[in-house]
Amino acid sequence: MAQKLWGGRFRKQIDALANTFNASIHFDNRLYPQDIEGSMAHCRMLAKQGVITDDEASRILEGLGQIKGELDRGEIPFSTDYEDIHSLVEKNLVEKIGSLGEKLHTGRSRNDQVALDVRLYEREVIQRVMGLIRDTQSALISLAEKHIGLIMPGYTHLQRAQPVLVAHHLLAYYEMLKRDRQRFAEVLERVNILPLGSAALAGSTFELDRRMVADELGFDGITDNSMDAVSDRDFVLDFLFASSVLMMHLSRLSEELILWSSREFGFITISDDFCTGSSIMPQKKNPDLPELIRGKTGRVYGHLVSLLTTMKGLPLTYNKDMQEDKEALFDTADTVEACLSVTCRLLTGITFHAEELREAVEKGFLDATDLADYLVRKGIPFREAHEVVGRLVLFASDEGKELRELSVSEMKRFSKKIDKDVYEWLDPVRTVNRRNLPGGTGPERVRQRLETARKELES
């Protein structure tokens, strides 16, 4: 078992089981690029401040570069002999350049080192996630543009409610993802603050140039309280929350794709390359990919609740409990990136069925609200018009007819205000066209929104 970085105070080596239980190298090994990047910036700063010489800094930097290359090539095993990725890098550096490697840790602790590494890692993930969100938004826009004239039922309570453009429905998810990108952008601002220089919790006795390190690493600023800096995981929780909301949106979209692709709806077909079959039923074509996205949403929620629970009772400052942040962060990052990638590609292979959508729009009294609005324009108060149309719907339902299939004389039994011009208000196409106010489903407004959305993505 390798000597620990903290072994001087102990008479016994750590128990083998305790060593395995305590180690994080089996999951925090993915932080090695960030750990080395942060160590290089710290090294250059130590040289500038005269804590180490320029020659010593050059040798340290060369050694770190060699270790980075060896790790990239998989030549250094991630053994539990190393407690964590920080220990692995430092021990290998000492093996390469001797005791000089031990000078690198001057003025820092693993507490502020790991906070830096996680911030660097999360910053990279957020930028990738925001790019994937943009790609998914673009796929939604393309699908909406392809079906700009197609009408479908809009729903409340999973009951047919009013006709809307398919494009308008798809753009609702564009808006959700737009808010998701905004949330991640806000998280990125809070992530991009340098904690290094806080040391274990109280800062350092060395004159460290923290702003130099911040500039080297592309941070917008430095933390103002060393105790908060090493014990803060709000930025991880922010990421987990933003990811949870994003996954909720992807899950809602997945649920609709699952429903729409069923025989009961028959609105869409999902491309074969994003479905699977049954091992016993030859006819089956299952929407497994949307189902998995829907299922993985709970997994991301779990990581958020888990870390909130971990953090809720911790006194200042660092506690080993906080090691539990990384698996939650890493798995969430992997899950979100995978789900966005799948959703984006899946959307490009969706086919809408115009005939089935037309039939769905023409059944279920989706024109009832427009009939009430028609009566309002004839001088009837809306609540009275609502009551009249409700009784008309009941009558038509008993007769096995839609509202437009009733004769004017039948409708006049419920209101003398109804005349032949009523049928203009019972046409699904005109129903959609009339809703041409900003934010509505009118074709002109939807086309304008599509154009604006394209410009938003380009900017």
Domain residues of the chain, as ranges? 7-106, 111-353, 360-444
Q: Do domains 7-106 and 360-444 have the same CATH topology?
A: no
Please classify residue 52 by burial: count the beta carbons closer than 10 Å to its beta carbon, then call 0-12 exposed, 13-18 middle and 19+ buried.
Answer: buried
C-beta separation of 82 from 24 below 8 A: no
In percent, the amount of the chain with pLDDT more than 90 equals 93
Residue 409 confidence (pLDDT) above 70: yes
Beta bridge pairs of residue 268: 352
What integer is the mean pLDDT of 283-307? Answer: 97
In percent, the amount of the chain with pLDDT more than 70 equals 98
Mean pLDDT, the chain, rounded, equals 96
The CATH architecture to which 111-353 belongs is Up-down Bundle (1.20)
The residues assigned a catalytic role are: 157, 278
Residue 9 confidence (pLDDT) above 90: no
pLDDT given at position 17: 81
pLDDT given at position 22: 80
> How far is the CA of 224 from the CAs of 113, 122, 162, 194, 197, in angstroms?
16, 20, 54, 10, 10
- Predicted TM-score (pTM) above 0.85: yes
Please classify residue 364 by burial: count the beta carbons closer than 10 Å to its beta carbon, then call 0-12 exposed, 13-18 middle and 19+ buried.
Answer: middle
> How far is the CA of 99 from the CAs of 55, 56, 184, 344, in angstroms?
14, 11, 42, 51
The CATH architecture to which 7-106 belongs is Orthogonal Bundle (1.10)
The CATH architecture to which 360-444 belongs is Orthogonal Bundle (1.10)
pLDDT given at position 8: 67
Residue 229 confidence (pLDDT) above 70: yes
C-beta separation of 19 from 87 below 8 A: no
- Per-residue pLDDT band for 4 (boundaries 50, 70, 90) equals low
Q: Residues 260-269: contacts with CB within 8 Å, 24+ apart?
A: 261/287, 265/356, 265/360, 266/353, 266/356, 267/152, 267/352, 267/353, 267/356, 267/357, 267/360, 268/350, 268/351, 268/352, 268/353, 269/350, 269/351, 269/353
pLDDT given at position 19: 77
pLDDT given at position 2: 57
What integer is the mean pLDDT of 193-207? Answer: 97
